[in-house]
Amino acid sequence: MTGTTTLWRPTGPQELALVEATGRRAWPPRLPDQPIFYPVLNEDYAIRIARDWNVRASGVGYVTRFEVDTAFLARYPVQQAGGRTILELWVPAEELAEFNRHIVGLIEVVHEFRPAC
């Protein structure tokens, strides 16, 4: 094995419930209007999305962390989606099942955000 790369994914409660239904081992298939699955490469960016977007959209935002086989990830070029640290991988929806097979270990929730009182 060549090692693993840590990825993060900001998510809301519906997607997290689907992840939990897999035993925290896989991401659910994309919806028809979601052509890509985009895990992010740094925790700070995931926190910003979960806190600023997911909380507003669904009342709670989560940041998940998971490991993926590094050699497998080489097929996905890093995408700079904004500033220097706004880095994502764009996994086509039709490749998500294969991506899931290369997750090593469990998908963990590392942060939870709710509206400020």
pLDDT reported for residue 84: 79
- Show the DSSP H helices in 1-114 as ranges: 13-21, 43-49, 55-58, 70-73, 96-101
* End-to-end Cα spacing for the chain: 47
pLDDT reported for residue 82: 78
DSSP tag of 54: I
DSSP tag of 98: H
In the block, tokens 């039709």 appear at 94
pLDDT reported for residue 117: 65
3-state per-residue secondary structure call for 14-31 = HHHHHHHHCCCCCCCCCC
pLDDT reported for residue 81: 83
Full-model pTM: 0.93
pLDDT reported for residue 2: 67
Spans of the chain below 70 pLDDT: 1-2, 117
